[in-house]
Amino acid sequence: MQVSVNVRASRIVEEMIARQDEIGVSVYKVGEGTVIDAGVEASGGYLAGRYLTEVCLGGLGSVTMTWKQYGEMSLPAVVVSTDHPSIALLGSQFAGWQIKVEKFFAMGSGPARSLALKPKELYEKIGYRDEADTAVIVLETTQKPDEAVVEYVSSACNVEPKDLYIILASTSSLAGSTQISGRIVETGLHKLLDVGFDPKLVLYGSGCAPIAPVHPKFQRAMGRTNDALLYGGETFFTVKYEDDEELRRIVEQVPSSKSRDYGRSFFETFKEAGYDFYKIDPALFAPACITVNNLKTGSVYRAGQINEKVLKESFFGH
């Protein structure tokens, strides 16, 4: 299926703009580009976070809110499902574009990546690139972009600045926390890719993760939002694979519990690493649980577990 994730996402953006007062976002122009603040200065909450997640998925997934029990804790949670996992999750949602323009820095995710091909090798693996006259990017940041950022992103996407939409949310916002938990299925698929599984063999994906309570300090918020995925996130994938035994071995490699850094809150691990992501074992960035159903044989394999102890320490201990 050849679809434009940017065109689909732009329809969601239009709805966000139409409902801006209702969902607590603010819309303004920077040069000719349109910026939607969903959680830097704006008060965007769960609804804004849901829209952010839908935009990140390129309009190729469903996002719903629920309430879930984690031991003695009852927490809001987000459920994400997609019938187009490679394109929606890796081709759009994955935060794979570091936006650096002078003093501005943000992690970029969403459909615009598929126009700029950031990173190019990932698009080669999934066999997708978008062609559209409009671009939509989601930036996880506390900074407001200036015209130089608008020019840089629009140029990289080969669109006119007037056709660029930039959506902002900080990690220390409810909308930001919601959309990070909404990355649970992408986290699982990316880990499958890391352990050598061809993502094009994944037909469907679904997942659920708790929405981390907001913390005003960035490093604490970063810790909580990661813990929501690493210790509370569950994924379910439907695949077609020839070798059941090999599939079982692959599934066992996926959960965050396979990491040498597993077992402590992410904030503690991050702090010990000198707040340097590259000193953290990459195997940690994975869902707590994964279940895979092989349509070829009907087999179902599961690995990992929810770690309620670390979730409680992370969410209620600071």
What does the pLDDT average to over 84-97?
98
CATH of domain 5-316: 3.30.1030.10
Structure token digits, residue 62: 């469903």
* Cα–Cα–Cα angle for 316, 213, 144, rounded to 5 degrees: 140
First-last CA distance in the chain:
47
The angle, 0 to 180 degrees and rounded to 10, between the axes of the packed helices 218-230 and 308-316 is 160
Task: Give yes or no for a contact between 88 and 188, defined as CB atoms under 8 angstroms apart.
Answer: no
d(CA 87, CA 100): 25
Residue 318 has pLDDT above 70, yes or no: no
Residue 270 has pLDDT above 60, yes or no: yes
Residue 276 has pLDDT above 90, yes or no: no
50-68 per-position pLDDT tens digit: 999 999 999 999 999 999 9
180-219 per-position pLDDT tens digit: 999 999 999 999 999 999 999 999 999 999 999 999 999 9
Which helix (H) or strand (E) segment is 266 a member of? helix 266-272
Structure token digits, residue 257: 């519990």
Residue 1 has pLDDT above 60, yes or no: no
Q: Output the pLDDT for position 214.
A: 97
Higher pLDDT: 277 or 70? It is: 70
Residue 284 has pLDDT above 60, yes or no: yes
Which helix (H) or strand (E) segment is 126 a member of? helix 120-126
146-167 per-position pLDDT tens digit: 999 999 999 999 999 999 999 9
Query: What band does 278 get if pLDDT is binned at 50, 70 and 90?
Result: confident
Size of the chain in residues: 318
231-243 per-position pLDDT tens digit: 999 999 999 999 9
What does the pLDDT average to over 242-270?
97
Q: Quote the mean pLDDT of the chain.
A: 96
Q: What is the residue whose two structure tokens read 């050849």?
A: 2
Q: What is the residue whose two structure tokens read 């570091």?
A: 98
Q: What is the residue whose two structure tokens read 């809110």?
A: 65
d(CA 194, CA 34): 35
Position 12, amino acid: I
Q: Are strands 33-37 and 164-169 parallel, antiparallel or unpaired?
A: parallel
What does the pLDDT average to over 253-274?
95
Q: Output the pLDDT for position 224.
A: 98
> What is each CA distance from 221 to 141, 178, 235, 264, in whole angstroms?
12, 12, 23, 15
Break the chain into its structural domains and give their ranges. Answer: 5-316
Q: Are strands 62-70 and 26-30 parallel, antiparallel or unpaired?
A: unpaired
> What is each CA distance from 138 to 98, 122, 236, in whole angstroms?
11, 19, 25
CB atoms within 10 A of CB 68: 18
